[in-house]
Amino acid sequence: MKCMMNTSLLTCILMVVMTVTLSCTKPESQPLKVGVAGPHSGDLASYGLPSVKAAELVINETNDKGGILGRRIELLIEDDVCKPELATNTATKLVSQSVHIVLGHICSGATKAALGIYKDSNVPVISPSATNPDLTQSGDYPNFFRTIASDDAQAKLEVDFALDVLKLKKIAVLHDKGDYGKGLAEFVKGFIENSGRAELVLYEGITPGAVDYSAVVQKINLSGADAVIFGGYHPEASKIVMLMRKKKMDTIFISDDGVKDITFIKIAGEYAEGVYATGPKDVSMNPLAVKANEAHKKTYGSDPGAFFLNAYAAAQALLNAIEKSGSTDYAKVTHALRTEYVETPLGKIRFDDKGDAIGVGFSMFQVKHGRYVEIN
């Protein structure tokens, strides 16, 4: 069925409806229903709409190839405005339309509110953007998966790197008292304490923008820490690193993507050498990402918005799981999500037991010869 560009949209829709209605006579070719939920209106619509477009692109492509398991795919798009109280309605509506799998929701709060309803109805859910750590780590929602790294992913990577790769025993944790820096430092503190393999010798907040950090640097020195893990941004990080090096301390410095910024290297210059920082994996060179972005440009005439590639990967992952498991059975699909790798714009991914995507998110970088180089 081909809809020419000049054919009116209405005719197109009518034809689809007719095809669907006609094909209803044969039970095995009932459409596969994929729900897409997120904010599609209101303040946060710009976070939700790119996911709808990603789903449309992936699903149209699959339908053009003849669908999946011989069935066409139908999109059910529902708006939750990012509000938890509306997200439960959205979820109920999708479930009552007997949706098979859901791509969404976008905001962590709305996702959490909706998850219980999907869980009771055995609907797997893949979010491209909900980053709240509890969603996966609490273990309350075995039906939940996501193609974005959780908020504590950087902290986890930093601690794992410090303990497993660098084999450090004494670690000092500093933060800039801000939401981002302190939040991260608290996760780092928790991970170090739970590991029991290293000692947290110092945990302090520094005042951003202060003219001098020599007192806290001397305190790090006194604590005998092998490394400092810093949660915050590059202006404070460069001041601390420069001061440490000027005071002839060779303490290892590990930080986050607030520091993985070229300005940090420009300012700290030679003192920046050897500093570690986590940062989002670079996917711009991934051929699938390039292809997805081009498809978006061709179809919608603009560059894709927030979480587009995450949603694209989520759509691919869910179709792949259905295809590999050969059914829409809850247990089989979730098992396939956890075991079957799929090539996506974010790289080759599958999900771990808790539902976080393996191979998505952050990498460790180190400053070498004035640039950040990814460490593998």
Partner 1 sequence: MEYFLQLLLGGLTRGSIYALIALGYTMVYGIIELINFAHGEIYMIGAFTALIMSSVLTLYGFNEVSIIVLSSLIALIYSSAYGFTVEKIAYKPLRGAPRLSPLISAIGMSIFLQNYVLLAQTSDFLPFPTLIPEFNFMKNYEHVFGSTELVIVVTTVLVMILLTILIKFTKIGRAMRATAQDKKMAMLVGINVNKIISVTFIIGSVMAAIGGILIASHIGQINFYIGFIAGIKAFTAAVLGGIGSIPGAVLGGFVLGWTESFATGYVSSDYEDVFAFALLVLILIFRPEGILGKSSSQKV
Given the rule CB under 8 A, which residues bind partner 1?
177, 204-207, 209-212, 214-216, 218-219, 222, 234-235, 238-239, 242, 246-249, 263, 266-269
- Comparing CB distances to partner 1, the nearer of 73 and 220 is 220
Distance CA 131, CA 137 (A): 11
- Comparing CB distances to partner 1, the nearer of 3 and 262 is 262
The values of phi and psi at residue 272, to 5°, are -75, -20
Closest contact distance (angstroms) between CB of 60 and partner 1 is: 42
Closest contact distance (angstroms) between CB of 264 and partner 1 is: 9
Q: DSSP alpha helices (H): ranges in 257-307?
A: 262-268, 287-300
- Comparing CB distances to partner 1, the nearer of 152 and 236 is 236
The one-letter amino acid code at 9 reads L
Closest contact distance (angstroms) between CB of 213 and partner 1 is: 8
CA distance to 86, 165, 374, per residue, from 128 (Å):
19, 30, 24
- Comparing CB distances to partner 1, the nearer of 214 and 339 is 214
CA distance to 15, 47, 62, 71, 205, per residue, from 3 (Å):
9, 30, 16, 20, 61
Closest contact distance (angstroms) between CB of 180 and partner 1 is: 17
Angle between helices 214-223 and 234-246 (to 10 degrees): 60
- Comparing CB distances to partner 1, the nearer of 28 and 250 is 250
Closest contact distance (angstroms) between CB of 272 and partner 1 is: 10
Closest contact distance (angstroms) between CB of 210 and partner 1 is: 7
- Comparing CB distances to partner 1, the nearer of 73 and 367 is 367
- Comparing CB distances to partner 1, the nearer of 219 and 335 is 219
Distance CA 94, CA 101 (A): 10
- Comparing CB distances to partner 1, the nearer of 177 and 324 is 177
Q: What is the DSSP string of 191-227?
A: HHHHH-SSEEEEEEE--TT-S--HHHHHHHHHHT-SE
Label residue 313 exposed, middle or buried (CB < 10 Å: 0-12, 13-18, 19+): buried
CA distance to 149, 350, 354, per residue, from 139 (Å):
16, 18, 6
3-class SS at 136? helix
Closest contact distance (angstroms) between CB of 200 and partner 1 is: 14
Distance CA 38, CA 28 (A): 30
Closest contact distance (angstroms) between CB of 373 and partner 1 is: 21
Instruction: Using alpha carbons, select from 227, 180, 187, 228 the residue that is nearest to residue 208.
Output: 180
